[in-house]
Amino acid sequence: MELIYKISKVLIEAGKIILAADNINDNITQKHGTANFVTTYDLTVQNFLYHRISDLVPGAHFIGEESTENRMELINDGINFIIDPIDGTTNFVHGYRHSAISIALLRDGIITAGLVYNPYLDEMFYAKRGEGAFLNKKSIHVSDRQLHDGLVSFGTTPYKREYTEASFQIIKKLFTSSRDIRRSGSAALDLCYVACARCDLFFEVELSPWDYAAGSIILEESGGVISSFKQTRLPFDASSSVIAANPNAYRDFYDII
């Protein structure tokens, strides 16, 4: 856990950049897709993380949401970090104060550790393979609730509006089969909220690896189940659908959908 501890300190420093952000709307660039933004703060945080983590792990490769040259062919070779500097950029732009920094550590293509930090609440979710999942040093576990008693969180894949109909058909079915639904705007935090039993199931029709990489190991180490809609393991060199839940709600999802 020593490396995780050191990386967590870097994330807390990076979080201060987010908390101190000012005039955010004056520094926005539109990326490909609807409502897909990048701010100067995304780039600043990402560069800060690259620099500081390189000092901790010399020779590591980096894959980041805001990088223009992600070398996905290296994902199965050596040490890789998958980074989302601000997961929930639209929230960040609107001052919604629900965003996170997400970092996953891979060794030869296998995720061995993940951290997700919400600077607004000073909540650090983290996990190391085989050693459990934690929130601010306290062990966390998924709930055992079935879907009809559960809270469902979801993403709408807003950058690809061609998935809107499919997404909302699923949302309608889950709304009528659960206690209620939530849309937070940060997939990384949604996965962690399932991991600590605040929610019971999360899904999105398409996400990128930096959206779910760190959260996936936190969810698994908390006793949860995560996969693509086809129930295959999530890839880390391509986008994928994502379903994540406690084991009971996961089974219920497929009974309903």
Q: Is the pLDDT of residue 32 over 90?
A: no
Dump pLDDT digits (tens) for 77-105: 899 999 999 999 999 999 999 999 999 99
Percent of the chain scored above 70 by pLDDT? 95
**Cα–Cα distance, 228 to 239 (Å, whole number):** 10
Query: What pLDDT does 37 receive?
Result: 62
Q: Is the pLDDT of residue 36 over 60?
A: no
**Domain 2-139 bears CATH identifier 3.30.70.3270:** no
pTM for this entry: 0.94
**Cα–Cα distance, 233 to 168 (Å, whole number):** 24
Q: Is the pLDDT of residue 30 over 60?
A: no
Q: Among 81, 82, 213, 239, which Cα is nearest to 157's?
A: 239
Residues 28 and 94 sit within 8 Å (Cβ to Cβ): no
Q: What is the mean pLDDT of residues 169-193?
A: 97
Query: What pLDDT does 28 receive?
Result: 63
Dump pLDDT digits (tens) for 215-228: 999 999 999 999 99
Query: What pLDDT does 106 receive?
Result: 97
Tokens at 213, concatenated: 């990489």
Q: Is the pLDDT of residue 69 over 90?
A: no
Query: What pLDDT does 38 receive?
Result: 82
Output the average pLDDT for the chain: 94
Residue 23: pLDDT band with limits 50, 70, 90: confident
Write out the residue limits of the CATH 3.40.190.80 domain(s) in the chain: 147-256
Q: Among 211, 5, 15, which Cα is nearest to 119's?
A: 15
Query: What pLDDT does 74 receive?
Result: 80
**Cα–Cα distance, 121 to 5 (Å, whole number):** 18
Q: What is the CATH number of domain 147-256?
A: 3.40.190.80
Query: What pLDDT does 29 receive?
Result: 65
Write out the residue limits of the CATH 3.30.540.10 domain(s) in the chain: 2-139
Query: What pLDDT does 33 receive?
Result: 52
Q: What is the mean pLDDT of residues 40-68?
A: 93
Query: What pLDDT does 27 receive?
Result: 61
Torsion of CA 63, 67, 73, 76, to 10 degrees: 0
Q: Is the pLDDT of residue 170 over 80?
A: yes
What is the enclosing helix (H) or strand (E) of 173?
Answer: helix 164-177
Q: Is the pLDDT of residue 214 over 60?
A: yes
